[in-house]
């Protein structure tokens, strides 16, 4: 709800939209209307006159609905009376458009004004249930928790969106790239969960589940020229360069069995995307390079593994046997699949380890580890694989009912711990002091 309201007011039609700088005319008019001695909070009072006609406020979610996406279409369900209230609130401050100035400090007078408008309209949305049709679990009791609403606002605007804004300035097009990577990452995450669930539900050996990690899942891309007989889009599977032949066979048999069972399950229709698997030599390479850490060595292609630096080889593998001697026994609960890992390892370990130039961490000296630092950073470093991603819509869950009761999670804990320390502020305590002062001024004005 918070994210949707901010996007509607800010005019951000797509999930990877980047906030614009306010018009110089808007800032000039604001500075002329509000000198440093005026209490801007008084203009939240509904009895205050409009500084401009509310009809002149640019707040037109219909333009966003033209995008046709899930979030954009949700705006069509918001009550028009609430949108009128939002326009009226903005008009009391004489602003033709709403939007913080991400070049200024978070608690500048101009940004405080935009924060006050946003918090007031968000509280009104909670009280009136303006977003109930979209978020039915929202709890109106949170309208009285001004501090939490301010914290969520600051998190979105001066953490999520300002980071995106600054990244786009440094590298134009980065927002779309991160969004695309986030979608690919989430797709791998869904695939991982589906495969893991199938293995657990059917009681297959726990050692199989150790192969099902995000980094080992393949990516895919939409084939714009191919659809199924039912008209469903088809996605082309990309290659995971480091997979061993046995691991590739394991994955293909797992999906064949899993999808076949899903299609036959009584009363259920699978919603999983249709994926086509080209021959290995025809597959494109995926964009993610990160290797899984302490992964069963049998999952790695020996030639790929042996070509890695020693420190990387030591970190990315664990000498564990996973697959049965006869791969035809996979997912049939027969042969080696009936053996525990403790029973299977002595039978196959020597043959499995033979083609690998395996190295333990204890085999490395300090010089080896230092020389391999660049390789470790490339394969295990922070390469933005886990960035959003849906741009943090999940924060709305903070204000949802939990089986009919309001969540007791504090704002700070719900948003991941301590408040963000904004680069333009002195320290975390200064951020909290300004936020508390703003909350007090807003409460006194009402």
Helices and strands counted in the chain (H then E): 18, 7
Long-range contacts of 221-225 (CB under 8 A, 24+ apart): 221/284, 223/276
Report how far residue 2's alpha carbon sits from residue 393's, in angstroms, rounded to the nearest whole number. 8
Q: What is the pLDDT of residue 384?
A: 42
Report, in this order, helix, strand and coil percent for the chain, each rounded to 5: 55, 5, 40
Q: What is the pLDDT of residue 263?
A: 84
Instruction: Report the run of H or E that residue 113 belongs to, with start and end.
Output: helix 109-128
Cβ(379)–Cβ(307) under 8 Å?
A: no
Query: DSSP alpha helices (H): ranges in 296-364?
Result: 302-306, 310-316, 341-353
Task: Please confirm whether the linkage preceding 436 is cis (ω < 30° from 0).
Answer: no
Three-state secondary-structure class, residue 220: strand
Can you give the pLDDT of all 446 residues of the chain as single tens digits? 787 788 888 888 777 788 889 989 888 888 888 877 777 777 777 777 888 888 888 875 545 544 445 555 666 677 778 888 888 889 888 888 899 999 998 888 899 999 999 998 888 888 888 777 777 777 777 778 888 888 889 998 998 899 889 988 888 887 777 777 777 888 889 999 999 999 999 999 999 999 999 999 998 888 877 878 778 889 899 999 999 999 999 999 999 999 999 888 887 666 788 899 999 899 998 888 889 999 999 999 999 999 999 999 999 999 999 999 999 999 999 999 999 999 999 999 999 999 999 998 888 876 555 554 444 444 444 444 444 333 334 444 444 444 444 343 334 333 333 444 444 444 667 777 787 777 777 777 66
**Which of 46, 38, 108, 122 shows the shortest CA–CA distance to 78?**
122
**Which of 350, 349, 347, 351 shows the shortest CA–CA distance to 336?**
347
Q: What is the pLDDT of residue 365?
A: 73
| Helix 80-91 × helix 109-128 angle, to 10° | 160
């Amino acid at each position: 709800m918070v994210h949707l309201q901010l996007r509607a007011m800010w005019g951000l039609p797509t999930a990877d939209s980047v906030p614009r700088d306010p018009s110089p005319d808007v800032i000039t008019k604001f500075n002329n209307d509000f000198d440093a001695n005026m209490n801007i909070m008084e203009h939240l009072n509904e009895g205050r006159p409009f500084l401009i006609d509310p009809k002149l406020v640019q707040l037109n979610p219909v333009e966003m609905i033209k995008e046709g996406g899930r979030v954009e279409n949700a705006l069509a369900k918001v009550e028009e009376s609430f949108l009128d209230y939002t326009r009226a609130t903005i008009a009391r401050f004489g602003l033709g458009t709403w939007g913080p100035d991400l070049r200024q400090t978070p608690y500048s007078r101009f940004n405080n004004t935009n924060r006050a408008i946003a918090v007031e309209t968000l509280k009104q949305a909670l009280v009136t249930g303006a977003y109930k049709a979209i978020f039915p679990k929202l709890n109106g009791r949170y309208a009285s928790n001004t501090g939490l609403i301010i914290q969520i606002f600051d998190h979105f605007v001066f953490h999520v969106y300002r980071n995106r804004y600054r990244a786009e300035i440094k590298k134009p097009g980065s927002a779309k790239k991160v969004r695309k990577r986030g979608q690919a990452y989430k797709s791998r995450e869904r695939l991982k969960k589906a495969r893991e669930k199938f293995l657990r539900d059917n009681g297959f050996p726990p050692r199989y589940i150790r192969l099902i990690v995000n980094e080992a899942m393949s990516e895919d891309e939409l084939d714009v020229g191919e659809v199924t007989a039912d008209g469903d889009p088809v996605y082309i599977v990309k290659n995971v360069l480091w997979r061993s032949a046995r691991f590739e066979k394991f994955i293909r048999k797992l999906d064949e069995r899993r999808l076949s069972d899903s299609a036959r399950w009584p009363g259920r229709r699978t919603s999983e995307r249709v994926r086509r698997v080209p021959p290995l030599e025809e597959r494109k390479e995926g964009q993610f390079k990160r290797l899984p850490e302490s992964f069963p060595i049998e999952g790695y292609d020996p030639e790929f593994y042996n070509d890695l630096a020693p420190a990387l080889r030591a970190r990315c593998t664990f000498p564990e046997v996973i697959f049965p001697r006869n791969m035809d026994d996979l997912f049939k609960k027969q042969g080696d699949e009936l053996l525990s890992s403790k029973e299977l390892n002595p039978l196959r370990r020597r043959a499995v380890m033979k083609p690998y130039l395996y190295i333990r961490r204890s085999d490395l000296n300090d010089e080896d580890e230092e020389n391999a630092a660049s390789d470790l950073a490339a394969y295990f470093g922070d390469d933005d694989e886990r960035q959003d991603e849906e741009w943090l819509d999940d924060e709305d869950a903070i204000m949802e009912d939990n089986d009919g009761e309001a969540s007791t999670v504090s704002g700070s804990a719900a948003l991941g711990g301590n408040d963000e320390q904004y680069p333009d502020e002195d320290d975390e305590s200064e951020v909290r002091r300004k936020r508390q002062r703003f909350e007090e001024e807003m409460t006194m004005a009402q």
